[in-house]
DNA sequence: GTACATAGTGACCGAATGGATACCATTGCG
DNA sequence: CGCAATGGTATCCATTCGGTCACTATGTAC
């Protein structure tokens, strides 16, 4: 278990349960990684990297390690050359998918709502510009 | 709209919707603030501060401003002395409550699961200690 | 005139985080 | 021999974030 989560589990008795979820799921690429593994069952490091937008190996490695340390995915190393490493969801990881999907849906709805709002404000700004120009 | 969210809405066309949710809901105290406002309908700055674990005013102010800029809550200033400022959820904020509740439930389940796991490991470590001591 | 209550703001700090760049180990293949 | 393929690591950097401490504005009450 990575240090952060161990701290969470050992020290936070009760409060802020939502922030636990965010601490576990809230890293760069993490929701995408979980969704891809849910969809493809098992993926190698390079496959994951290509399916995401090619984050640097350093970053992808760190996210995968954290998800592994937090118990959401399982890493299998085949001792062969060239190396082969497979990633798949654990039960805990599969159990997080409804929440990941909920995050995705609300985020999409929120972005759509804000885009509409932004368009409205931009249109209004143009009106003002027209008035000023006229 | 605060800069971060404006960037999200203007630049991220499509990907990473889950990370949008996390960008909006993922600050310190934010889920708690939303839950409290959902429960109490309207709260003053000092009331919120006392219901939370008294974060410094600086921190609480920043979280509230971000939530306001992101459209989740409404801030009403009464021009009187001493000052009175009220916070309540917007429609967007109320719409986030199912997600906040889902985050809370999964986080609680996750923490419980990991606590059990930790206890199991600690017990095992004690067994090992006994063996070594014996 | 001075203390109090409320709702903040400004300057600053240390830790964590995403990311860029360079480098590495192994072994089969030509 | 030398190169490619895979799955990384080491080092460093800029930014962000939560948090601390000091400070403020102002009308009322004593």
> Are B31 and A116 a contacting pair, CB within 8 Å?
no
Strand D close to B45 by CB, under 7 A:
no
Residue B130: count of CB within 10 angstroms of its CB: 9
Q: Confidence band (pLDDT; 50, 70, 90) for A120?
A: confident
* Residue B119 or residue A111, greater confidence: A111
CB-proximal positions of chain D, under 7 Å: 4-11, 17-22, 25-28
- pLDDT at position B16 is 84
In the predicted model, what is the mean pLDDT of chain B?
A: 88
Strand D close to B29 by CB, under 7 A:
yes
Q: What is the mean pLDDT of residues B5-29?
A: 77
Question: Would you give the DSSP letter of residue B52?
Answer: T
The Cα–Cα gap between B3 and B36 comes to 26
Q: What residues of chain A lie within 8 A of the CB of B19, using their CB?
A: 28, 31, 107
State how far Cα B63 lies from the chain centre: 9
Q: Count, in order, helices (H) and strands (E) of chain A.
A: 7, 3
Question: Would you give the DSSP letter of residue A71?
Answer: T
- pLDDT at position B120 is 85
Find tokens 């939530």 and name the residue.
Answer: B67
Cβ within 8 Å, pair B99-A106:
yes
Q: What is the mean pLDDT of residues B59-65?
A: 97
Q: How many cross-chain Cβ pairs, A to B, lie less than 8 Å apart? A: 129
- Kindly state the tokens that stand for B126: 């004690």
Q: For residue A131, is pLDDT > 60?
A: no
- pLDDT at position A121 is 77
Cβ within 8 Å, pair A32-B22:
no
Q: Is B51 on the interface with A (CB under 8 A)?
A: no
């Amino acid at each position: 278990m990575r240090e952060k989560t161990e701290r969470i589990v050992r020290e936070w008795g009760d409060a802020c349960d939502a922030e636990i979820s965010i601490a576990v799921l809230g890293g760069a690429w993490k929701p995408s990684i979980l969704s891809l593994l849910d969809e493809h069952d098992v993926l190698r490091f390079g496959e994951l990297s290509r399916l995401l937008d090619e984050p640097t190996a350093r970053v992808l490695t760190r996210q995968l390690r954290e998800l592994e340390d937090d118990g959401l995915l399982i890493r299998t190393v085949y001792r062969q050359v060239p190396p082969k490493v497979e990633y798949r969801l654990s039960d805990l990881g599969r159990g997080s998918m409804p929440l990941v999907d909920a995050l995705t849906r609300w985020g999409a709805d929120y972005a759509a709502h804000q885009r509409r709002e932004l368009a409205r404000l931009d249109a209004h700004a143009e009106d003002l510009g027209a008035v000023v120009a006229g």
